[in-house]
């Protein structure tokens, strides 16, 4: 029997179409972005290991500054003036800490999500990672949240709840869950004018919360791309022995609300955890534990270097321990040190260089800006090598 003769065959898809329309309406109303179709299944465990690409770009902490985030992508030639993907088959790794210290956190998440889908269509890939600030926010630790950050979450929640009300009017769509269920109305150690924003942030980011589940659960916590291992804070041999794939699987399960309750797994908490470690990122090179670094790297076959964010490098992107540790957090967000955006580029055919927005290197229009070698951070201005 044809679908014309059997209208039920058509009508059974209407609730899904309406739900999809409402989601698109909410996304665009809040972010101004139409997200391309997502071909990746939800609740998928993030992939941990990737082949070495022709071109790899690493971007440090973004902390709620959308404009600086776009500038970082733009100086690497990854987006055009309309913020559309132009990176072709480039693989990008953003090492976490999108959240906190700024007021456009969710907008950055939408921006990255759209670029992920555009990159996939061009043969490229964007990997986004969980930093300590993603973990803190899922746990409900909002020490570094800004007033504008709370306000942005409230605006998002207004649109999201409106979308749920629209869906609840349609027969055939499951009743939307109240995102505020179980969240108190007030908080003893917070100002009264922040209560609504805090409630909204908890609702959005707690395990199984809509923002946490949609964006953060799909992040890697550790990733191996070719001969580089990426992590927000750092990896010790004990983390690698525990299992990199296991870490990604368990963190994703926790954020999705499948296990672990409020708090993250132990290897994401404390000073020696994968998102908090600073043994390899102290700006004073002699304070970096090169022995522990070399031991950790030796336990990951084929890996030459560890690339991390987390600790602001006032001297810009740099390497220590014979460039086996590369630190890429330049504090670019206005909520941090308002540093000039820089990104790390690794090409299969020409090695490692730094791409910077520093105007000192824009005076010669015939110069290709970058570092042939990484310069260790010390208490001196960073020297650079400009390639003609």
Q: What does the DSSP 8-state code read for residue 108?
A: H
pLDDT of residue 364: 41
In contact, 281 and 77? CB cutoff 8 Å = no
Query: Does 11 score more than 60 pLDDT?
Result: no
Domains of the chain by residue range: 8-38+141-177+190-205, 55-139+207-357
Mean pLDDT for the chain overall: 89
Mean pLDDT is lowest, of 37-41, 216-220, 269-273, 334-338, for: 37-41
Torsion of CA 363, 367, 371, 373, to 10 degrees: -130
3-class DSSP assignment, residue 17: helix
Of the pLDDT bands very low, low, confident and very high (cuts 50, 70, 90), residue 1 is: very low
- Going by C-alpha positions, the residue among 278, 231, 228 that lies closest to residue 134 is 231
In contact, 192 and 230? CB cutoff 8 Å = no
Report, as an integer, the average pLDDT of 17-22: 92
324-367 pLDDT tens trace? 999 999 999 999 999 999 999 999 988 899 999 877 655 443 33
In contact, 214 and 31? CB cutoff 8 Å = no
147-158 pLDDT tens trace? 999 999 999 999
Distance, in Å, from the CA atom of 306 to the CA atom of 216, rounded to the nearest integer, reads: 22
Q: What does the DSSP 8-state code read for residue 359?
A: G
| Residue 12: other Cβ atoms inside 10 A | 11
Q: Which residues contact 353 (CB under 8 A, 6 or more apart)?
A: 344, 345, 347, 370, 371, 372, 387
Q: Which CATH number fits domain 55-139+207-357: 3.40.50.1820, 3.40.50.720, 3.60.21.10, 3.90.1300.10?
A: 3.60.21.10
3-class DSSP assignment, residue 159: helix
- Going by C-alpha positions, the residue among 93, 43, 39 that lies closest to residue 226 is 93
- Going by C-alpha positions, the residue among 293, 276, 275, 281 that lies closest to residue 376 is 281
Residue tagged 């987390």 (tokens): 310
Q: Exactly one of 133, 232, 239, 310 is catalytic; which is it? A: 133
Cross-strand bridge partners of residue 225: 50, 228
Of the pLDDT bands very low, low, confident and very high (cuts 50, 70, 90), residue 197 is: very high
| pLDDT > 70 fraction of the chain, expressed in percent and rounded | 88
pLDDT of residue 383: 32
pLDDT of residue 167: 93
Q: Would you call 63 a catalytic residue per the annotation?
A: no
244-278 pLDDT tens trace? 999 999 999 999 999 878 999 999 999 999 999 99
Report, as an integer, the average pLDDT of 374-381: 36
Of the pLDDT bands very low, low, confident and very high (cuts 50, 70, 90), residue 15 is: confident
Distance, in Å, from the CA atom of 70 to the CA atom of 330, rounded to the nearest integer, reads: 15
Distance, in Å, from the CA atom of 105 to the CA atom of 315, rounded to the nearest integer, reads: 26
3-class DSSP assignment, residue 260: coil
């Amino acid at each position: 029997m044809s679908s014309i003769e059997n209208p039920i065959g058509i009508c059974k898809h209407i609730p899904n179409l309406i739900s999809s329309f409402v989601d698109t309406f909410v996304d665009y109303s809040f972010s101004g972005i139409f997200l391309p179709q997502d071909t990746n299944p939800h609740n998928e465990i993030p992939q941990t290991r990737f082949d070495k690409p022709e071109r790899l770009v690493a971007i440090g902490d973004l902390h709620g500054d959308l404009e600086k985030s776009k500038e970082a992508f733009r100086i690497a030639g990854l987006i055009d003036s309309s913020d559309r993907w132009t990176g072709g088959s480039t693989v990008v790794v953003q090492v976490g800490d999108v959240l906190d210290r700024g007021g456009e956190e969710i907008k950055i998440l939408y921006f990255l999500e759209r670029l992920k889908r555009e990159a996939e269509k061009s043969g490229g890939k964007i990997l986004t990672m969980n930093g300590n600030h993603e973990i803190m926010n899922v746990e409900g630790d909002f020490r570094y949240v800004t007033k504008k950050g709370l306000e942005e979450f409230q605006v998002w929640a207004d649109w999201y709840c409106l979308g749920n009300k629209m869906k609840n009017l349609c027969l055939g769509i499951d009743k939307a869950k109240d995102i505020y269920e179980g969240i108190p109305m007030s908080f003893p150690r917070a100002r009264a004018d922040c209560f609504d924003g805090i409630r909204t942030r908890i609702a959005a980011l707690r395990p199984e919360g809509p923002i946490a589940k949609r964006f953060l659960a799909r992040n890697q916590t550790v990733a191996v791309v070719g001969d580089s291992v990426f992590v927000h804070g750092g990896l010790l041999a004990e983390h690698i022995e525990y299992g990199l794939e296991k870490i990604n699987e368990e963190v994703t399960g926790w954020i999705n609300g499948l296990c672990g309750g409020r708090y993250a797994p132990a290897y994401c908490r404390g000073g020696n955890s994968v998102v908090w470690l600073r043994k390899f990122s102290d700006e004073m090179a002699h304070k970096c534990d090169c022995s522990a670094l070399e031991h950790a790297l030796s336990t990951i076959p084929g890996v030459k270097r560890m690339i991390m964010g987390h600790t602001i490098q006032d001297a810009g992107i740099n390497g220590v321990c014979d460039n086996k540790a590369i630190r890429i957090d330049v504090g670019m967000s206005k909520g941090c040190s308002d540093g000039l955006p820089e990104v790390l580029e690794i090409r299969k055919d020409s090695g490692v260089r730094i791409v910077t927005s520093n105007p000192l290197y824009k005076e010669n229009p015939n110069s290709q800006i970058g570092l042939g070698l990484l310069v260790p951070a010390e208490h001196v201005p960073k020297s650079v090598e400009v390639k003609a």
